[in-house]
Amino acid sequence: MKQQTAYSIKRRLWAFLCLILSLTFLFISLGVYSFTAAGEKAVWAERQDEAAKAASEVIEQFVGRVNGALHTLGYLSEDHVNELQELPAYLIEDYPFLLEIVRLNKKGTVSQGAHRDNPVLSSLFTIPQANWFREAKQGKAYISDVLVSSQGTPYMIMSEPADNNNVVAARFRMDILWKIVDELRFGEGGITFVVDQSGRIIAHPDRTRVLQNTSVALREEFVLAKNSANFTWSGSYVNLQGDNVIGTVRPIPGTNWLLIAELQRREALARSHAALVFLSVAGGLFGLIAMLIITRLSQHFVFGPIGRLQEASQSIGQGDLETQIPVVARNEIGQVALAFNDMVIRLRDREEQITQNASLKAELKERERTQAELQKAKEAAEKANLAKSEFLSRMSHELRTPLNATLGFAQLLERDTQFPLEARQEKRVVQILKAGKHLLGLINEILDISRIEAGKLTLSLEPVQVSTIVFETLELVSPLAEKAGITLKTDIPSGIFVIADNQRLKQVLLNLLTNAIKYNQAGGNVRLYCEAHEETKLRLYVKDTGHGIPNEKMRDLFQPFNRLGAEETNIEGVGIGLALSKHLMDAMNGTLNVSSVKGEGSTFWATFPLTTAATPFSNNSESPKDKKTPLTSGVHTFLYIEDNLSNLTVMEDVFEEQPKIQLLTALQGRRGLELAQQHPIDIIILDLHLPDLSGKEVLQQLKKQPCTAGIPVVVLSADATESQINTLMTLGAHSYLTKPLDVDNLLHTLNTLMEVRL
């Protein structure tokens, strides 16, 4: 498709050319016309002027001849008049234009006269009053208006004074004068006529003008001539007949008449008009031809090639790279075409390259798509994982509450000093405790993993002495090792500190050692040793002599609940120990790695950041080992605010064994507050989940009241979340213990508090 450009250069250029051409011819035509017209006018004016001059001379001569006749008669003395009575008749014969000639005495009586047709002057009875007589008598020459007789014959009367106060007068024909003006024609339509001083037409080719007493008195040409210095004027106007004429007005000497010569303007300017018409037609035709030629030439040399360029570029724009522009000439446009063709070739090469790259591109695209899918899958998985963690978290929390009671009562049974258990009973209670603790451990581990995965695990990283941890751990696992017949070997020097969380490190180590024992061969050993790595790190190795882990299973080693086939053995476990350990190590900025040789055993090593300085908190790691720590101080009153009856029973049982402790209990928060105000309370143990007020509110109330503000509050809650702990500690709780209740830990805490208070 060819585009119709609204503002095409071509159209504008040609429109401009057309305009310029038209204007040029218009100006040339008008210019030539005005020049020729002016010239022609000037020539005509000159000719007209000359002719008018000649005409006026002729008329002057005519008038002169009339005068001559009058003079002839007038010169006669009175004496001769009678002698030459025949003279007038002779004069009439000699002058064909004379109709009548008379001589009158001073009284107006005709003394001499002759006439051609019939007597007029001599027959008048009003001569003395007639102006022609009176004027001549007063010594003036007189010329009358054109007088038309009732028969329609025009005539004029001319008179002049004669000898001895006499008057001579002549009546003469107008035909001669009219003949004269008839002959004075300019061109075909031009006329010449004579007017008297009042503007009345005396002689005119159209005789009716005279007979009808036509006057030009009010006409422009007459007024202008009358007002001019010597009654001479010329110019263009519309004449009596309504024609556009160029006229000349000039006086006729010897008379007070004016000669008006008119030339038809059309005739005067005939040649100019012809020139104008010719120029217009020729110019127009030439313009047309010129336009056609220019159009064709510019089309051929400029716009055609440009159009082809345009089409080519459009087709290239639409992707047709096979287009080539025919290079017709080696001119500028040809050069552009060449350059264009060159460009197209380059474009084509480029296109080919691009096509080759297209497969790569597709692959890349596919990969991107996969990635996006993966991302989606990952997000879905993460979401699912989160849901799982949430579920586990809830499950374990819900499991811990009944377990709390189980373990609590088992411990009470075990510790009952009043009614000590029989050996068999004690053994069973110990089994209950063992199983319960195992279950608790599992739940805790699951919780830990879910916390880690949820990013909610909080660690207290501090310098920890490795040897201490190792010692404590070995103490814990040694019964297990003994039972399994595994030899434990350690080679850990004291005084080595690493940055880690005391508890979590122990947990990891315990895990590794437990695994090393559990999955060892009978009579095997476990070796625990450490070495510095890269100066700033410490590697803690646990090397066993088990079956080893096959390479193909190595990948799943740290996956939770994946026991690598151990589920088919009778070895206990749920398969989350390593996963948790790995997570914990990661969380503590360390790593957990494994190498294994099938049949020879595996070596797990944990890597920690090394540190040199020990901290005062390192003592924290000291756990109360004395199982039966009594509260040694004097009589004290404790308040336990708790709504769970089983928990209350456990606590009451704990303090039943402490005779110096009075335990007050409250099932509701408000009741607890009342008690706190009414009694001198030493320590308040506060559950957070209460029916009326929340434990948090109770704590705030306590801290607000001056009488209770000083009482240390130990929070005991199943809610082990970090934020909750932080909140309550900030509000003023002394300690935060989590359920299930660890009686030893509680007593230890209380003991410490009592010591401080005392």
Q: Give the footprint of another protein on this chain (CB under 8 A).
A: 1-2, 11, 14-15, 18, 22, 26, 29, 33, 120-121, 123-126, 128-132, 134, 144-145, 147-150, 152, 198, 200, 211-215, 238-244, 265-266, 269, 273, 276-277, 280-281, 283-284, 287-288, 291, 295-296, 299, 303-304, 307-308, 311, 315
Q: Which is nearer to another protein, 283 or 672 (CB)?
A: 283
CA distance 651 to 656: 8
Q: Which is nearer to another protein, 241 or 375 (CB)?
A: 241
Q: Which residues, 6+ apart, have CB-to-CB distance to 625 below 8 Å?
A: none
CA distance 606 to 591: 6
DSSP string, 653-715: HHHHT-TTEEEEEESSHHHHHHHHHHS--SEEEE-S--SSS-HHHHHHHHHHSHHHHTS-EEE
Helix (H, G, I), strand (E, B) or coil at 50: helix
Q: What is the DSSP letter of 165?
A: G
Distance of closest approach, residue 72 Cβ to another protein, in angstroms: 24
Distance of closest approach, residue 351 Cβ to another protein, in angstroms: 20
Q: Which is nearer to another protein, 133 or 638 (CB)?
A: 133
CA distance 557 to 269: 123
Identify the CA nearest to 105 among candidates 155, 169, 157: 169
What is the sign of the dihedral through the CA atoms of 742, 747, 752 and 757? Answer: positive
Distance of closest approach, residue 97 Cβ to another protein, in angstroms: 18
Distance of closest approach, residue 244 Cβ to another protein, in angstroms: 7
Distance of closest approach, residue 359 Cβ to another protein, in angstroms: 32
Q: Which is nearer to another protein, 262 or 501 (CB)?
A: 262
Q: Which is nearer to another protein, 189 or 573 (CB)?
A: 189
Q: Which is nearer to another protein, 17 or 667 (CB)?
A: 17
CA distance 204 to 743: 159
Q: Which is nearer to another protein, 144 or 467 (CB)?
A: 144
Distance of closest approach, residue 363 Cβ to another protein, in angstroms: 37
Distance of closest approach, residue 179 Cβ to another protein, in angstroms: 21
Q: Which is nearer to another protein, 205 or 287 (CB)?
A: 287
Torsion angle of the four alpha carbons 275, 278, 279, 285, in this order, in degrees rounded to the nearest 10: 180
- 643 in Cβ contact with 671 (< 8 Å): no
Identify the CA nearest to 136 among candidates 102, 100, 166: 166
Q: Which residues, 6+ apart, have CB-to-CB distance to 641 below 8 Å?
A: 665, 666, 668, 669, 671, 672, 684, 685, 686, 687, 690, 695, 698
Terminal-to-terminal C-alpha distance of the chain: 104
Distance of closest approach, residue 39 Cβ to another protein, in angstroms: 17
Q: Which is nearer to another protein, 148 or 488 (CB)?
A: 148
Identify the CA nearest to 234 among candidates 45, 57, 51: 45
Distance of closest approach, residue 375 Cβ to another protein, in angstroms: 48
Neighbours of 489 (CB within 10 A): 10
> Where are the alpha helices (H) located in 299-331, listed in sequence order?
304-317
CA distance 634 to 659: 10
Q: Which is nearer to another protein, 27 or 561 (CB)?
A: 27
CA distance 170 to 126: 16
CA distance 42 to 36: 10
Q: Which is nearer to another protein, 295 or 701 (CB)?
A: 295
> According to the 3-state scheme, what is the secondary structure of 338-378?
HHHHHHHHHHHHHHHHHHHHHHHHHHHHHHHHHHHHHHHHH
Distance of closest approach, residue 157 Cβ to another protein, in angstroms: 8
CA distance 333 to 728: 88
What is the sign of the dihedral through the CA atoms of 517, 521, 527 and 532? Answer: negative
Distance of closest approach, residue 21 Cβ to another protein, in angstroms: 8
**Rama region for 713: left / alpha / beta (φ>0; ψ in -120 to 50; rest):** beta
CA distance 278 to 29: 9
- Strand 636-641 and strand 683-686: pairing? parallel
Distance of closest approach, residue 71 Cβ to another protein, in angstroms: 23
Q: Which is nearer to another protein, 224 or 439 (CB)?
A: 224
Distance of closest approach, residue 5 Cβ to another protein, in angstroms: 12
Q: Which is nearer to another protein, 124 or 176 (CB)?
A: 124
